[in-house]
Structure 1
Amino acid sequence: MLSFRKALIIAAVLITLILFLRSSHPSSAAVASSPETVAYDISQETKERPSDQDANYLQQTLKKPPPPSTAPLRERLRYHFSYNLDAKFPAYIWQTWKYTPASLWFSQDLRGPEASWTEMNPKFVHQVIPDETLHHLIKYLYGSIPEVFEAFDSLPLPVLKADFFRYLILLARGGVYSDIDTSALKPVVDWLPDGLDLSTIGFIVGIEADPDRPDWHDWYSRRIQFCQWTIQAKSGHPILIDIVSYITEEALRMKKAGILKKGKMDKTIVEFTGPAAWTDAVFRYFNDPEYFNIEPGSTRNITYEDFTNQVDYQKVGDVVVLPITSFSPGVQQMGAQDVNNPMAFVKHDFEGTWKTDPSL
């Protein structure tokens, strides 16, 4: 028989999931009244009516049958989460934590940072997904690709699931993901200059670390490390396809080998789901001839040298790379400027809350 406390927990999970699904489909009236939707879509389902040419293309696309379950994982992900560069950036802000802000157990230290995202972006849909809901949400979003959910559900540590979740939610829904211990310094719509054509941009990533010193490998995993605590993307972006495929395949490989367990894995958190794996995925995209015009036989690769000491925006294909100041202002190293700098958009408190998790 269920105890009263367990019944309350189950009821809270179901209510949270219902509210999430409702907020994921705002009315067309709400979209029309939002000034941000000039550049940002609140929902893929509320796009403007397509032209006849677009409608024909859409009709042909809808007739195409889904790939079989035996097709490569990347092919199936691309089918179910197609990437449309011309689409608007979805106006979602995603965060995750042990509890929702409505809970009595939500940390007081996190209330200010969490609220800053809503205050700075009042027309965005801002969701803090609690741990108890993650399982149900990922199962709902990836029901058509069961191995992705299996990989997520099999991860033995909360920090691994938190890492994986940010890639999964952005792949499926797009928008902004930011860690719960970050504060918004500027509205999302002000992150890019007015003259930049958003129909040519599908991804925004910031530099986390640029350790220009001989012993950099003693402190960081990569010479240039891209930030994963704040990311903005249009749904279906190839970088997200890549990182989701990589984590899924590695998780299932280790599960089959019987080592997907705490203290048994043959990859560190940083290399499995964290900033090293993330940085590698971004660089793989920059050097993929499927997406970039790379001359046959050329030895020219995009490397850390293209981003070290960066102080302004840099556009690489459909990706905008922001300098270290944008998501790491005030760290007093590696060229990062203060929080009042015009390029400072998000402040990270570096609480390392996952390190206090008793399961680690």
Structure 2
Amino acid sequence: MAPVRRGLVAIVVLLAFVFLLRSSSSASSDSRDTHSSERPVQVPPRVRTHAGRQQSAQFFIEDIADRPLRERLRYQYPYDIDAKFPAFIWQTWKDVPSSSWFPDELRPSEESWSQLHPGFVHEVLGDKTAEHLIRYLYSSVPEVVEAYESLPVPVLKADLFRYLILLARGGVYSDIDTEALQPAIDWLPKDLDPLSVGLVVGIEADPDRPDWHDWYSRRIQFCQWTIQSKPGHPILRDVVATIVEDTLRMKREGILTMARMDKSIVEFTGPAVWTDAVFRYFNNEDYFQNEKSRNVTYEDFTGQTTQKKVGDVVVLPITSFSPGVGQMGAEEPDHPMAFVRHDFGGTWKPANERYIG
């Protein structure tokens, strides 16, 4: 009888195992939006945002490639506000500092970042290295790689690179012609929890004059020569998707050349598209659903003299990244709120595209 009892016990255990599998399958199928035979990709199920909202996302191996670009970027580069700011400093130039071709006039500013950030990984990437890095980081989103490699001039690639590297890896990006005046750990107020901040951006222009549109693209313009971010921030995801979509559209239309593009550099990849992405985020109810319903505009930042936190974004005054410009209320580089000094010579541009002030 012992063998019979053992057989009965084995059958009971098997039936119980099958029952548990069926129950688990039935429960999971209730939340699927595709056929029950599809296997979900394991992703972090909930990502906290600054407003306390928890966002759920579930993707399936069979249809992930068909998702909109912004959804795939969110899946590949998730955002976690509770993470620390990565200790990276990213810069690009045609040649690396160890090369004899690296300009001597750029060495003091490049070295300032290493000197003030001894615990950071400071990378100055040459053009070819940057291209290989983008291929590696975005191999799962091939249209991003296609768009980056299709851009017709280096200045456009330099603009897109900063958004791409911060979206994928986070840290600080700063143009090679910038000088660090204070370490990044001092950019936030001492009484502000850095775990409540996901992105730090500075004001580039605050032109309080009636003809401002003759000089700048936006009434308040955020600079993109220096940005600090945690990986996956929604603003970076939005600006990357916007630029990639515009690039591939112009490529299909046969106008992706400097002579035929239907957008200027500033509007296509520069501070205009960046500023628009920041304001879209501030006014996106998906992220600010607990805030009072109102429109965030330039009026919220004009004349700003200290840090201002909006959700999980800290906006720095014009002095922080543009000290010494002698206008729009910017103080001198020795001011306590001066963090980064920009050369403003446009040394990364061709000579005929440089500007002063």
Fold shared, TM-score > 0.5 on shorter chain? yes
Instruction: Identify the residue that residue 179 of structure 1 maps to in structure 2.
Output: 175
Deviations 1:83-103 (A, max 9, x none): 000000000000000000000
After TM superposition, the structure 1 = structure 2 runs for residues 197-236 of structure 1, keeping only pairs within 5 Å, are: 197-236=193-232
Residues paired across the two proteins, number: 303
User: Residue 126 of structure 1: CA displacement?
Assistant: 0.2
The CA deviation string for residues 171-221 of structure 1, in whole angstroms up to 9 with x for no partner, is 000000000000000011111122111111000000000000001001000
Give the TM-score, by structure 1 length: 0.81
Percentage of matched positions with identical amino acids: 66
- On the 8 A contact 1:95/1:129 being kept in 2, the answer is yes
Normalised TM-score (structure 2): 0.81
| CA drift at 1:62 | 11
Q: Distance in 1 between matches of 2:107 and 2:81?
A: 35
Question: 1:355 matched to which residue of 2?
Answer: 349
Q: Matched residues in 2 for 1:156 and 1:147: separation?
A: 16
Runs of 4+ in 1 over 6 A off after TM superposition: 55-58
Which structure 1 residue ranges, 5 or more long, are not aligned? Answer: 1-54
CA distance in 2, matches of 1:72, 1:89: 28
Partner of 1:311: 305
Deviation by residue 1:136-173 (Cα, 9 ceiling, x = unmatched): 11000000000000000000010000000000000000
> Residues 166 and 211 from structure 1, CA distance in 2 versus in 1: closer, same or farther, beyond 3 angstroms?
same
User: For residue 37 of structure 1, what is the aligned residue in structure 2?
Assistant: none
Distance (whole Å) between structure 2 residues aligned to residue 62 and residue 238 of structure 1: 14
Match of residue 326 from structure 2: 332
Which residue of the other structure, out of 76, 83, 90, is the alignment partner of 1:87? 83
**1:114-145 CA-partner distances (Å, limit 9, x unpaired):** 00000000110000010121211100000000
SS of 2:65's equivalent in the other structure is coil
Q: How does 1:73-152 map to 2 (within 5 A)?
A: 73-152=69-148
Aligned-residue Cα RMSD (Å) equals 2.2
Structure 2: distance between partners of 1:179 and 1:246:
22
C-alpha distance in 2, partners of 1:357/1:98?
15
Give the Cα separation in 1 of the matches to 2:82 and 2:60: 24
Aligned amino acid, residue 244 of structure 2: T
Deviation at 1:356, TM superposition (A): 2.2
Structure 1 residue 65: Cα displacement: 4.0
Q: Are 2:250 and 1:250 equivalent residues in the alignment?
A: no
Corresponding residue number in structure 2 for 1:241: 237
For 1:243-282, list aligned pairs within 5 A. 243-282=239-278
- Equivalence for 2:35: none
Higher Cα radius of gyration? 2
Alignment check: 8 A CA contact 1:243 1:278 kept = yes
CA offsets per residue over residues 39-98 of structure 1, 9 Å max, x none?
xxxxxxxxxxxxxxxx9979xx99964552111000000000000000000000000000
Q: 2:131 corresponds to which letter in structure 1?
A: H
Moved more, 129-138 or 172-181: 129-138
